[in-house]
Chains A and B, each alone.
Chain A
Amino acid sequence: MMPTEEKQPILSIRNLNIWYGDKQILRDLSFEVHQRQVTAFIGPTNCGKSTLVRCLNRLNDFTPNFRFTGDILFKGTLLGASTDTTALRKQIGMVFRKPTLFRCSTYENVAYGARISGINRSEPLDAIVEKNLRKIGLWDEVENILDETPAQLSTGQQQLLCVARALVVEPEVLIFDEPCGELDPIETVKIERLVRDLADDYTLIFATNKRRQAARVSDVAGFLYSGELVEFGATERLFTNPQDNRTEQYVTGRLG
């Protein structure tokens, strides 16, 4: 569960501070994310998890009064004003709490990314759609209804479809922001299994307020509390022998 082949972190965050207007949301966060690992951020509601993960592909840029200091390095390159955010978001994809699908067919939802991404497509579109739907284990369920709207799919299937759509543009990093927030336990298990499977090929970042979910899916976990990264390290350590008393209180359900 702890691959060490890639020594160089894919993401390095140094002394990150974030404000919305006068309100400081994150305080002096520093950590590294390594390739082909699942890194989870846990913490109670409003601890700053979503703000943090949205920073990593610059989704907060649109938020009014958003301000940050500190460095975010993606593959050693500092993300700054000149960063091509469209290219960045292709490399760092995102799956949100609620399935956000386009108002078109299941096929088009997946194909869309490939059509607009400008990546060199040597494969036919049909093959790309099928490959990505197979990758997330949804192909058998939707192959006969590809031309229909995904609205008829269950929420869990829709969420899986969002993952397929994110994968089409061949990202390196995939961020999941509370991806199971709207799902029932069985659908949740499917997403969790998928996350583990995807970790063979992608770097995954996972924000959740479900402690046990982080314990199940992640290799490395960080505990955020009131905007502070209280503890960050191997998941196994965080859940068997946390070093900070606040982490201990949170993982045992006495804080939060």
Chain B
Amino acid sequence: MLQAEIKTLQHKLLEMAGLAEQMLRQAIESVLTRDEALARMVVDTDDTIDEFENEIESLCIQLIALHQPVASELRFLMMVMKISHNIERLADKSVAIAKRSIELMEYPPVKPFVDLPHVAQVIQTMVKDVLDAFVNRNAELAFEVRERDSEVDEIYERMLNELLTLLSEHPKLIEPGISLLLLFRHLERVGDLAANIGEEVYYLVKGDVIRHSDTR
């Protein structure tokens, strides 16, 4: 009985994750192509994600109360609650990127994007892979996604430094520059959230906590 409910819950979480992935893709695309309609679509999808999170959380609480699960079933329900929360935060970041994207459209491009398409690709792959790891209960992949976050952090630092140098040389760019700086920061946070989900998937599969360990 609980088995069937767990399948339903997994399906719902994947639906939510699929939507969040789409929001992230559209938000990044809106930045690169300066497509305001696409950015607004991302902003408007946020409510649906919130509803998903509420529904998943209620279902988890209900199943814990009614079935008092243990072992892998308990780990599943606890981690689904955490993962859905991280997906919700990830969607929030996509909304924030979309909003910064709309702000940036009010100005001419600050600079040509060099690292942005690359880091966006890395981050999107992290999100995709961590969800694959969840579906396939693949702890190794989950662990590896978590490791990839340090690559994101490095690129972020580089982008940040380049942008700060540019802004110090061209103070007129400060307003769009700040929007761009925040955008980079949101993207970097998406990497963190994907890494968090990696830790949760790892615990779900292995039962071992890797959060707060030093490898990241």
Contacts and interface: CB of A to CB of B under 8 A. Distances in A.
B121 to A, nearest CB: 35
A251 B73 CA distance: 10
A212 B68 contact: yes
A240 B68 contact: no
Most central of A211, A241, A247 by chain B CB within 10 Å: A241
Interface in B64-116: 68-75
Contacts of A247: 71
A253 B74 CA distance: 13
B207 interface: yes
Contact of A252 (B70, B206, B207, B208): B70
Contact of B73 (A211, A212, A215, A252): A252
Given A240-B207, A241-B207, A252 B69 contact: yes
A239 interface: yes
Interface string A229-256: 0000000000111100001100111000
A221 to B, nearest CB: 11
Nearest to B3: A254
Contacts of A248: 71-72
Contact of A211 (B2, B70, B75): B70
Contacts of A211: 70
B71 A251 contact: yes
A153 B69 CA distance: 35
Contacts of A251: 70-71
A10 B157 CA distance: 59
A231 to B, nearest CB: 11
Nearest to A237: B207
Contacts of B69: 252
Given A240-B74, A241-B207, A252-B72, 8 more contacts: A239-B70, A239-B71, A239-B74, A240-B70, A241-B75, A251-B70, A252-B69, A253-B2
